[in-house]
Structure 1
Amino acid sequence: MSHAPQAILARPALLFLVLVMASACASRPGTDTLIPFGATVPGAKLVKLLVATNRSGHEGHSAGSASTRGELRFEELTVSIPPQHQPGEIEWSKTTVRDPLESFVVVERQPMNATDFQERLNSRSNGAGSTGIFVHGYNYNYTESVFRLAQLAADSGSLDVPILFSWPSDGAVAGYVADRDAATYARDDLVTLLETVGSAQTRRRRLLVAHSLGGWLVMEALRQLRLKGRDHTISKFEVALAAPDIDVDVFRKQLEVVGKLNPPLAVLVSTDDRALGVSRRLAGGRQRVGAVDISDPALREAAAKADVRIIDISSVTAADGARHNRFVQFVALQATTVVQADAVTSLQKAGAFVFNAAGNVVSSPFDLASRALSSQ
């Protein structure tokens, strides 16, 4: 009898991550969380999300944790954010009785086909705000990815048309290998979404933000677009990767194909990211991009040469035990932090930067590139 699963879990690194992540999300949303509530309360903020996903089985109300791989499909959800929402937090319902006064609730949910999605995207594309695609990372179920983007959109203050690309993550701490395969499965569908959003008739800035393993997925999609000669599509997007779980050597090869972006690709890193530390040990000690040390002169030189902005956000308080979701607090800081002119000027260039709450600060990853460009 094979004991491979037990042997894997016995590895100290993965066991540590299991304990940390389990304590951070001991109570995960049930499968009924996305059932439309149908009403909200005065003072609540409504966030309307467009969703593209290749998870299957969501058409019904048991869509909260589906990880089965399917065809690309689309829907629109309206999420109510409670009046006393705390930036950086998702107020989950603590009981089976959902209360929009206290927690996030879905008030409307509408499936659509590709044509409907394109039309809805075009109809919401007027104005001077931003359209942003969010690609979640490892260990996200569908409900979590929907509510996370709703929270990011509510806190950023700059994302007017939020679009979720939800790939079929297992939504399980021990599903790391399965999630890698699922991200690979999702590459073509993400390319399709990027081509759709890139072709939309809009004056809004188009942002592409990815977290963790989603960063690898985004880089692969950009690489695929470049190899297809779809340079025009790539040029439409400003790209930011938060805590990307990518082997440094693999990232270098991806950049060789993707090439320089305008504005430069932004990468948010922190050296104390425990989840990426585990990923590094599971990968035989190979460094992950999201945990690089920007004090290394060689890294600074490499970032400038590759025309990449590497931004250390280690000073931002991490709300999760694994210190892997620090970007969430980074977004929340936008509501209370003033972006200094010298910081904005510096961030127009490639290189390595440190986020310093005492002075040299930057905005959220959704707004990072647009803030830098707005000063030109």
Structure 2
Amino acid sequence: MLVGLTIGGCATRPGDDALVPTLGAAQGARDVKVLVATDRAPDGAQNRGYGSGRATLRYEELTISVPPGHKPGAIEWTETTAKDLSRSFVVTRRRALDEDGFRQTVASRVGNGASAGVFVHGYNYTLTEAVFRVAQLSADAPSVTVPVLFSWPSEAAVALYVSDRDAVTYARDDLARVLSILGGIRMKGKIILAGHSMGAWLVMETLRQFRLEGRQRLIDRFEVALAAPDIDVDVFRRQLAVLGPLDPPLTVLVAKDDRALQVSRGLTGGRQRVGAVDVDEPRLAEIARQEGFRVVDISSVEASDGARHDRFFGFAAMQPLTMAKEGGPLGEIGRAGAFVFNSAGAAVAAPFTLAGRALGGT
């Protein structure tokens, strides 16, 4: 299966050159400004990218042009050396920031009531891919108007899973620093904190650290979603035991046919991954209620890759990222429990149903 995923991931990926700013604009294109915090080491010439080397935190702001024909959930990328602003995601501006500049930039942008969101990517990601992914999420989910990417030093290679697990551990203190900065900025509403795949483990470990340090007020600043979390189920329950219930409840987006998590399970001795749990499991809803989180099956969302590991990005395009008890798409299921998302009914008032009811239970 690992070989199959490797073959399936052999399409051309945007490289460091894609981060070199291109002047110009396409009619109908949208600009998205993405703030980046990364502990990757710089790789290559100035104004290019970062590799998998491990370094201290650096900050940037990048402006990305989203093409006029953009399809929600997708990242348009032309496999040519020429950058076509009419068809591709293109960086049009970059500026380096120090920590104070990062803080001041966020503060100035949320001062008018804008909302902030932090995305932590998973394994096998380059910085370029992560930047474009956050731009896509921001373009598709305009409820988050100040997008922040935290990028840890992934090797960006399918076969280097174990190395990425070390790299994501390396990044814990740096994510804690970034979240502390954001949590100290006055802004309206909660800050969305989303972790995908291995990035979900990083999010949980960082929040667990905050709890052990007694930083309840900081934890309360965030509304947390874990997408396809690559976390051992037993480890997750230990993390929850320390973290405790969140308000609104922690949201976990799952799909039992996630092939990438099946590979992860094989690589970790057959240990079940949280992101691939089956909502048909009778005890799941009970455990979710006991532990104070909500698990949502998003299997009905079409996956755009063979690994079926990217459904979150399509889900975010259908529903606002905010999941607060009032005003968000999960408003009607603000409590903890197990639920099923119906993508065919995404436009209706109640696209979520209780898992047991959706599966023929009572």
Q: TM-score, structure 2 length as denominator?
A: 0.90
Does the CA-based 8 Å contact 1:30-1:65 persist in structure 2? no
Distance 1:362 1:144 in 2: 32
Residue 33 of structure 1: aligned partner:
18
1:350 corresponds in structure 2 to: 336
Cα separation, 1, equivalents of 2:339 and 2:328: 12
Task: Indicate which of 238, 254, 260 corresponds to 1:253.
Answer: 238
Q: Which runs of 4+ in 1 moved over 6 A?
A: 360-363
Query: Is 1:200 matched with 2:181?
Result: no
* TM-score w.r.t. length of structure 1: 0.87
Aligned positions of 1:318-357 closer than 5 A? 318-334=303-319, 344-357=330-343
Residue in structure 2 matched with residue 282 of structure 1 by the alignment: 267
Is 1:119 aligned to 2:125, yes or no? Answer: no
The separation in 2 between residues aligned to 1:58 and 1:119, in whole angstroms, is 27
Following superposition, the deviation at residue 342 of structure 1 comes to 12
One-letter code aligned to 1:218: V
Alignment check: 8 A CA contact 2:41 2:50 kept: no
Secondary structure, in 3 states, of the residue corresponding to 2:296?
strand
User: Residues 5 and 306 of structure 2 are in contact (CA less than 8 Å); yes or no, is this contact kept in structure 1?
Assistant: yes
- Aligned partner of 2:252 in structure 1 is 267
Amino acid at match of 1:322: A
Structure 1 residue 359: Cα displacement: 3.8
Check whether the contact 1:344–1:362 (CA below 8 A) recurs between aligned residues.
no
Matching residue of 1:167: 152
| Distance change >3 Å, CA 362–CA 189, structure 1 → 2 | farther
Q: Residue 314 of structure 1 corresponds to which residue in structure 2?
A: 299
2:343 alignment partner AA: A
- Aligned residues of 1:125 and 1:204 also touching (Cα < 8 A): no
Native 8 Å contact 2:42 2:50 kept in 1: no
Aligned to 2:288: 303
The answer to whether the 8 Å contact 2:192/2:223 transfers is yes
| Cα distance in structure 2, aligned partners of 1:21 and 1:242 | 21
CA distance in 2, matches of 1:123, 1:196: 14
| CA deviation profile, 1:320-359 (whole Å, cap 9, x unmatched) | 0000111111122238xxxxx9974442010000001344
User: Residue 239 of structure 1 aligns to which amino acid in structure 2?
Assistant: V
Kept in 1: contact 2:119–2:195 (CA 8 A) = yes
SS at 1:267's partner residue? strand
1:214-245 Cα distance to aligned partner (Å, 9 max, x none): 00000000011111111111100000000000
Residue number in structure 2 paired with 1:96: 81
**What is the one-letter code of the residue matched to 2:204?**
M
Structure 1, gaps ≥5 residues long: 1-15, 336-340, 364-376
**What is the CA-CA distance between 1:65 and the residue it aligns to?**
5.4
* Partner SS, residue 66 of structure 1: strand
Superposed, 1:161-240 pairs within 5 Å as: 161-240=146-225
Percent of aligned pairs with the same amino acid? 55
Pairwise CA distance, 1:130: 2.0
- Say which SS state the counterpart of residue 300 (structure 2) adopts: coil
Q: 3-state DSSP class of the match of 2:132?
A: helix
SS at match of 2:318: helix
Contact 1:309 1:349 in 2 (8 A): yes
The separation in 2 between residues aligned to 1:288 and 1:78, in whole angstroms, is 35
1:259 to 1:361, Cα distance in 2 relative to 1, 3 A: farther
Question: Quick one: which amino acid aligns to residue 271 of structure 1?
Answer: K
> Which residue of structure 2 aligns with residue 143 of structure 1?
128
C-alpha spacing 1:359/1:41, structure 2 compared with 1 (3 Å): closer
Residues 22 and 332 of structure 1: CA distance in aligned 2, closer, same or farther (over 3 Å): farther
Residue in 1 aligned with 2:66? Answer: 81
Is 160-169 or 81-90 further displaced after alignment?
81-90
Structure 1 residue 128, shift from structure 2 partner: 3.6
- 1:234-293 Cα offsets, whole Å, 9 max, x none, are 100000000000000000000111111000000000000001011111111110000001
